[in-house]
Structure 1
Amino acid sequence: MIPSRFYYPSPGFSIYWKSGNGKNLAEKLIGKLPEKTEIEAFIPRLFETDSLADQVIREVYQVHGFKQADSWIEALLANKQAECPESLIQLVNQTLETPSWLNAELLESGACLCRRSGSIGLMVLRNYCLMGGYESSAINKPLVFTGALKKGAAKRLTETTEFWVSIVGENAITNPQIGLKECLKIRLMHAYARVSILDEGKWQEADWGAPLNQWDMLATNLGFSIIFLDGLRKLGIKPTEEEIQGLFHFWKYVGSLLGTPAETFPETESDAIRAIYAWTITQAPADDDTIALAKALTLEPIDGPFPSRNWEKKLVYKTHLGYNWFFLGKTSCQTMQLPKTSWQIYPHIQRFFVRLAQPFVHWSGKSYHRSILCNRKAQIKVVNAYLKSHGRKTITDK
């Protein structure tokens, strides 16, 4: 079965690959972009889901409640026994198991790139990866069904930023009480949303595939890897080959922790470009939900609790818009009805100074690690400002 969301070639993303950022990505490709027949092999993934996590939701959360489920998870992550359904034990054991392919050095190299990207990395995530994903009308449908618009963009952005900042900390991703716990929480949150949507009975699988399906999960993961990498380069950061290889290794591991088979994820930049091309080039046109979600994220600095002062809210609003236009380009921004702003000149200025600094970052091992520490502090400061504004507990690297 081919769902109506499979739209080849995508009217919006075709422009991206012909004259936008995708053209620059394609130039880094070794070999050719996949043809339609190759891309059609991905279609079954639109109906595949994380069945084990769904089972846990039905057998644990819906039967015993959140408080009891969370208590069992805490015990299992601490390697304590818990009298709970076998599905939950299996899920936590799967999370705690170290894959045979995992390379600790590569994992940390990828995390180092994320940390040394500092506040620039957070700008890329928000204004390129997240906003760019909203142009796909199909992947947005679960957000609409779960009431994301009513909950507000500020809450969703804070949760995503907290997750990313937490798991890229030094050796954090393999720590049962930090990275593994965070990934398990997100995996179950996805499953809870999927089960809730299906139980409601209004989801149109013939049109959209399964909610939070495996192909969309792959695309989300690629946003954190290949799109993130592209955004860093656009702002002047020069990753090393080891950092690039590590970044894909890192997100392969994270993706597997979130319930998608490890063999699904690309391990090289070329394979990642092919994978993101296959997904984007089959996306249906943007719709009213696209515009509504984009508008909510655009107005997040104005409507949210952070920043607190009105002049700061307006400044941050214009700055983010400038990055949106810088990263996404005219066609995408007009499609999502993002207001045009002269602030798009700011990222160009920032790129100039970032490029000047790169040789000093790579001057020695000491200067490289100093850059990581300095930029990591900036990330912690930003995420804690968001958390404080929502009355949430702040995070540290200790």
Structure 2
Amino acid sequence: MDNSKLRNHWGVSFKWTELHQTREQLRPQMFTYDKLANDCVKRLNELSPPTKTNSTSESNRPPKRDLFALLEKHADDDSKLKQLWTEINTVPEWVDWEQVKRGQEVFFRYGLAVLNVLNFESLLGGMGSPRVVETLARTGGFSATVVRRRLLETLQHVLQVSLSLDSIKPGGSGHQSSVRVRLLHASVRSKILDLVDQDPDYYDVQNWGVPISDLDCIATINTFSTSVVWLGLPRQGIRLREQEIVDYIALWRLVGYYMGTPNEAFATTATARAMMESLLVSEVHPKETGIVLAKNIVIGLENTFPTFTSKEFMDAMARQLNGDQLADDLDIPRTSLYYQILIYGYCFVVMTIAYGNRFFPVFDKASIAVSLPFYL
């Protein structure tokens, strides 16, 4: 093996290949974005203006508009809206519904372990990306007071895309949820860019790229798929079978398509893993704001539904799933030996349940059958 091609970033070792991309190669995607969705949100705002309020209290704010419902209602009233409506209801030729169904089953087979990853690695560890943090800081997305609600919204989306084939097909709850996320991203992006037009110092587009750019959206799908199978699950002692990996990534490639994300990187496991490793190198560089938001996440989730866990337990789990190097840079405290042992024991239980489901199909089917009504 050519040692000059070996890399180690944030505790992850890998070989650099022609499939990997440097920061300079990824940079153009910082300035491209889902322009069709932006155009459609602008048109929807003209057709159905949002309600204005001066209240800073969430309880006093008017209900959020259902942008998906507005898109469906006005799809025939405007060429851009029609174009988007047709796109999101057209199933790509590369979709294999049986494979997508198997990908959904992967989520339920390893559900508890996957949720651990989404909470403590994808979400909390994601605060190590300065560009993502710059956008979140301007939307109040992870202030301590709203972090729990945002987490539950994310959890709801994951469940909706995983529940059944009907849920992920056009018109299903998972499909609609994904399109709503796409329109929400476009709305946030448009607002920030409008503010930049008024005050160029509000957000440094040249340095940080367009907010919620194509690269940001690729990174988002990465946190739900590739980071789960190659980082978060192995750090809990769980390694998926190759077919499970292929199926799970195929599910999230389809979700990415609905969300307007360039999805070519998720066409194969090789390209998907190379993108994950490229993002680790180019995008993860914790800054002060990210440290603050990471602390807010822990504060917002401490001893609350759905985890009801202590700060010390969450700190220990975050260190387990993100590695000591990234945890140190995010200023996540080192925990006592008691909590380290507790985490190892917890991961052993999670691993036992996961492998029990995998090796005994009757348990697997029973587990999925029991879990579905709970999530519904």
Same-fold status (TM-score > 0.5): yes
Quote how far apart the aligned CAs of 1:83 are. 5.3
User: What's the CA shift string for 1:44-97, capped at 9, x where partnerless?
Assistant: 111001000000111112552259x967843875xx786533222221221111
- Any residues of structure 2 matched to 1:213-362 within 5 Å, and which? 213-230=213-230, 231-263=232-264, 265-283=265-283, 285-302=285-302, 306-307=304-305, 315-342=309-336, 343-358=339-354, 360-362=356-358
User: What's the CA shift string for 1:334-365, capped at 9, x where partnerless?
Assistant: 21111222323333213333444455423454
**In structure 2, do the counterparts of structure 1 residues 344 and 19 end up closer, same or farther at CA, with 3 Å as the change threshold?**
farther
Query: What SS class does the counterpart of residue 333 from structure 1 fall into?
Result: helix
Give 1:120's aligned amino acid: A
Q: Quote the residue 1:388 is aligned against.
A: none
Given that residues 111 and 168 in structure 1 are in contact (C-alpha distance below 8 angstroms), is that contact kept between their aligned partners in structure 2? yes
Query: What SS class does the counterpart of residue 337 from structure 1 fall into?
Result: coil
Given that residues 229 and 239 in structure 2 are in contact (C-alpha distance below 8 angstroms), is that contact kept between their aligned partners in structure 1? no
Confirm whether residue 45 of structure 1 aligns to residue 35 of structure 2: no
Query: What SS class does the counterpart of residue 139 from structure 1 fall into?
Result: helix
Confirm whether residue 192 of structure 1 aligns to residue 222 of structure 2: no
Q: Quote the residue 1:132 is aligned against.
A: 125
**In structure 2, do the counterparts of structure 1 residues 54 and 269 end up closer, same or farther at CA, with 3 Å as the change threshold?**
same
Quote how far apart the aligned CAs of 1:377 are. 5.6
Q: State the alpha-carbon separation in 2 of the partners of residues 124 and 88 from structure 1.
A: 36
User: Which stretch shows the higher mean deviation, 97-106 or 171-180?
Assistant: 171-180
Query: What SS class does the counterpart of residue 93 from structure 1 fall into?
Result: helix
Where does the alignment leave 5 or more consecutive residues of structure 2 unmatched? 1-6, 52-63, 197-201
Confirm whether residue 208 of structure 1 aligns to residue 198 of structure 2: no
Quote how far apart the aligned CAs of 1:292 are. 1.3
Q: Quote the residue 2:368 is aligned against.
A: 372
Quote how far apart the aligned CAs of 1:109 are. 1.2
Quote how far apart the aligned CAs of 1:280 are. 2.3
Given that residues 116 and 376 in structure 1 are in contact (C-alpha distance below 8 angstroms), is that contact kept between their aligned partners in structure 2? no
**In structure 2, do the counterparts of structure 1 residues 319 and 375 end up closer, same or farther at CA, with 3 Å as the change threshold?**
farther
Quote how far apart the aligned CAs of 1:372 are. 2.4
- Any residues of structure 2 matched to 1:9-88 within 5 Å, and which? 18=8, 20-23=10-13, 26=14, 32=17, 39-66=23-50, 73-74=68-69, 84-88=77-81
Query: What SS class does the counterpart of residue 99 from structure 2 fall into?
Result: helix
Query: What SS class does the counterpart of residue 237 from structure 1 fall into?
Result: coil
Q: Quote the residue 1:110 is aligned against.
A: 103
User: What's the CA shift string for 1:186-225, capped at 9, x where partnerless?
Assistant: 0000000000001111221111011101011111111111
Confirm whether residue 179 of structure 1 aligns to residue 154 of structure 2: no
**In structure 2, do the counterparts of structure 1 residues 307 and 169 end up closer, same or farther at CA, with 3 Å as the change threshold?**
closer
Quote how far apart the aligned CAs of 1:152 are. 2.2
Where does the alignment leave 5 or more consecutive residues of structure 1 unmatched? 1-16, 381-395
Given that residues 45 and 214 in structure 1 are in contact (C-alpha distance below 8 angstroms), is that contact kept between their aligned partners in structure 2? yes
Q: State the alpha-carbon separation in 1 of the partners of residues 261 and 315 from structure 2.
A: 33
Identity across matched positions, percent? 23
Give 2:294's aligned amino acid: A
Q: Quote the residue 1:120 is aligned against.
A: 113
Given that residues 136 and 290 in structure 1 are in contact (C-alpha distance below 8 angstroms), is that contact kept between their aligned partners in structure 2? yes
Q: TM-score, normalised by structure 1?
A: 0.79
Give 2:246's aligned amino acid: Q
Quote how far apart the aligned CAs of 1:374 are. 3.8
- Any residues of structure 2 matched to 1:155-166 within 5 Å, and which? 155-166=149-160
Given that residues 173 and 180 in structure 1 are in contact (C-alpha distance below 8 angstroms), is that contact kept between their aligned partners in structure 2? yes
Structure 1 vs Structure 2 CA RMSD: 2.9
Paired residue total: 350
Q: TM-score, normalised by structure 2?
A: 0.83
Q: State the alpha-carbon separation in 1 of the partners of residues 278 and 207 from structure 2.
A: 18
User: What's the CA shift string for 1:4-31, capped at 9, x where partnerless?
Assistant: xxxxxxxxxxxxx5275412xx2xx6x7
Given that residues 357 and 364 in structure 2 are in contact (C-alpha distance below 8 angstroms), is that contact kept between their aligned partners in structure 1? yes
